Structure 1
Amino acid sequence: MARAVAFLDILGFKQMLQERPLAELAKDYEGAVQQAASLNQRHQTDRSAPTYLPNHKPGEPWCHRQIFSDSIILVALDETEESCLKLLFYARLLFIFMLVRKLPVRGAVAAGKLYHNPATAVTLGDALTDAYLMEQQQEWAGICIADSVWETFPNLLAAARDPEDALHYYFLEYPVPWKGPAQSAHRVLNWRFNTVIAAGSRQLLKDARLDQVPSKHQNVIRYLEHVRASGAVHFGDGSPKPAECSTVWLGPTQPPFKHGDDL
């Protein structure tokens, strides 16, 4: 059986090391990592709402996680479809959180042969190599899902293809921007789905200094424009909303509040 794994890289980290005192950067980074750890568990949800994970209890982790320098590795708890889905949910939340902390992330999720020992923090295998190589090929801030995930877990692909299923919005098909020749469209973790940003998406990207890298910045803007045009911003009002589709509110005040711009 294959196992899901994600490889994530913090963009611009080398420049941060050059521009900021190491002790100051380490303090901020450790603070972000500690807060990100709090996301790696399910919090109490509306028990009356439908759920993709009926057996996942509050307080249980979504996946294993390893961090070294500017690289983050997420490993599914086991080889099941449910554990793959948990990893995907967490990777999306982590992306949003890191972007808010001005640490934009680029990454990929793959599935395949994988050895992982949480006791020794040893992780290796074809799946990790594939995720790393796919992450390196992209030219934006975002997380792409490799075809190996859908080949391993076809039920998740069927759900992602169904407009009546919330996973259709979570795992959006999109022409990912590549550094080399264009490839066929892949599905990505749609971080804009059910996310309300008081300052607006453009300001969020500016605060994360993505505008200092025009190619990556413009590619993220194009993605946001695509999401708005496709309607993949909110799940349909007439459909039951799964517990995992709760709105992510990003702002200085208590929700609800309006999204700050057209993206």
Structure 2
Amino acid sequence: MDDTPYKKLRYTKRWFAYFDLLGFAQLVRTREIQSVLPIYERVLETIEEKANAKKSQGIGYSWFSDTFIIFSKGSSLEEFGVIEQIARLFFQKLILHKIPVRGAISYGNLYSQQEKNIFLGEALMDAYEYGEKQNWLNFVITPSAAMALEKLEFPMNERAHYRLITKSGVITHPGDKKIFAYAFNNGTVNGINPLLKALRSMKEVSPKEQGIKYENTIEFIELYGWISHNNSMQSNAKASAD
């Protein structure tokens, strides 16, 4: 087999963000396509708005059905910063539009051939496994990414927007490694956290069996989503030491 076209492509370390829409399959099965398409189009507009502007910095993105991915060209700390910002803004906007979503940011080898929509590697599998094992609406920094950031002297327990998960049952991925999650703490509007308000509204109309996902998320925000930058670092440092 002639593998010449693949010689120009690198299987290399990268930052990788994975998101999937919760309940989208059920939505497609139970509602008219005319009511589903506007939701899907809004998600596509959001990822294009957040990720397309960063293409010049080597950022790529793709999607299939209810899955959306964002990935870097390389493994630098600067590229993590761009991926993290896009992922966080993408997640926030979907929640504010009351679209349930969860995901993960990972680090590892990734092979991509975007023209043919081919993506393979440990970065994808890691993000997928941690993303799918969450029993709430949020996104996490996987241990692979946290360890890579530690080596770059950018430890997660000093990051303003992330908190260590301490409650059991929120994530069921095997292992005892520490996992950090987004704290929904980008600020308030007139003293109200708009993300928390959106989640409470979403819970009211969600299927009863999905209630625990919203309860876990709301509890996490109420615990950490109001802490100031300085207090957040102290809180994370204490939790990491426990």
TM-score interval, normalised by the smaller of the two chains: 0.7 to 0.9
1:36 CA displacement: 3.1
1:226 CA displacement: 1.6
Pairs aligned (count): 214
Matched, 1:14 2:25: yes
Matched, 1:217 2:214: yes
Could you list the structure 1 runs, at least 4 aligned residues long, displaced by more than 6 angstroms after superposition: none
**Aligned position for 2:106:** 110
**Aligned position for 1:152:** 148
Partners of 2:51 and 2:86 within 8 A in 1: yes
Identity of paired residues, percent? 23
**Aligned position for 1:130:** 126
Looking at structure 2, the residues matched to 205 and 62 of structure 1 have their Cα atoms a distance apart, in angstroms, of 33
Structure 2 SS opposite 1:153: helix
Structure 1 SS opposite 2:214: helix
Within 5 Å, give how 1:59-78 maps onto structure 2: 60=56, 63-78=59-74
Partners of 2:164 and 2:180 within 8 A in 1: yes
Partners of 2:139 and 2:182 within 8 A in 1: yes
Superposition RMSD on alpha carbons, in Å? Answer: 2.9
TM-score, structure 1 as length reference: 0.70
Per-residue Cα deviation, 1:191-228 (whole angstroms, up to 9, x for no partner): 33335486844430143347531110110011112214
Per-residue Cα deviation, 1:13-50 (whole angstroms, up to 9, x for no partner): 122113321133123311331133112256xxxxxxxx
Structure 1 stretches lacking a partner, 5+ long: 43-57, 163-167, 237-263
Looking at structure 1, the residues matched to 107 and 90 of structure 2 have their Cα atoms a distance apart, in angstroms, of 19
Q: 1:180 to 1:86 in 2, by over 3 A?
A: closer
Structure 1 SS opposite 2:79: helix
Per-residue Cα deviation, 1:35-74 (whole angstroms, up to 9, x for no partner): 33112256xxxxxxxxxxxxxxx88468311111111111
Structure 2 SS opposite 1:7: strand
Structure 2 stretches lacking a partner, 5+ long: 1-11, 231-242
**Aligned position for 1:235:** 229
1:89 CA displacement: 1.1
Q: 1:195 to 1:127 in 2, by over 3 A?
A: farther
**Residue type matched to 2:106 in 1?**
A
Identify the match of residue 191 of structure 1 among 179, 184, 189: 184
Looking at structure 2, the residues matched to 16 and 121 of structure 1 have their Cα atoms a distance apart, in angstroms, of 25
- The farther-off stretch of 132-141 and 74-83 is 74-83
Per-residue Cα deviation, 1:139-186 (whole angstroms, up to 9, x for no partner): 000111111112223255635334xxxxx2123222261247784541
**Residue type matched to 1:81 in 2?**
L
Looking at structure 1, the residues matched to 75 and 195 of structure 2 have their Cα atoms a distance apart, in angstroms, of 35
**Aligned position for 1:89:** 85
**Aligned position for 1:203:** 197
Looking at structure 2, the residues matched to 35 and 171 of structure 1 have their Cα atoms a distance apart, in angstroms, of 22
Q: 1:171 to 1:235 in 2, by over 3 A?
A: same
Partners of 1:41 and 1:59 within 8 A in 2: yes
**Aligned position for 2:4:** none
- The farther-off stretch of 169-178 and 204-213 is 204-213
Higher helix share: 2
